[in-house]
Amino acid sequence: MKNKKRNIIWGYILFLLFVFMGCVTTTPPPLPSSFDIASPSDDIPSELSAFLGVWEGKWGGMMETIIVVEKIDEDKATVIYSWGGKEAGYMYIDDSIIPGPTIEWRMDKLPSEDNVDCPCSITLKMNKDLNSIIGFASLEVYKVKLRAD
């Protein structure tokens, strides 16, 4: 009972945090007018090539996100990261690190017009079925960790 009550309280706190940060989705995540998803080379393991494509989810069950993995090799991936909300937008990521069947990148500022200093990292993990990913975001300043499915 204590755990259920604590989870409800934390869920409410996260909801309020998103409301006050302006992160509750009001505008869907935009994408550039065109993008190209490359064919994987033959030497790329299937656990990595499975990342290629368009992935949609919601951070914390609330903030919509679209992630496009355009290109991937054994050292890095080219990614378009798109978010919905009050200040919806997208950015290109070319320096992602791949330690195993994951894609990870760091940002020094939150992607918004305010350009708020907030060191954070995003990690995408490929599931064993190679058809779905789980995303994890860690916002270090707010000591918040979010999951997107």
CA 118 to chain centre: 15
Per-residue pLDDT tens digits for 42-88: 999 999 999 999 999 988 778 889 999 999 988 889 999 998 888 88
Q: What is the pLDDT of residues 82-128, one digit of tens each?
A: 988 888 889 999 888 777 789 998 887 666 656 667 778 888 999 99
> Which of these, 53, 45, 39, lies nearest to 75 by C-alpha position?
45
Whether this model's pTM surpasses 0.85:
no
Domain boundaries, the chain: 25-148
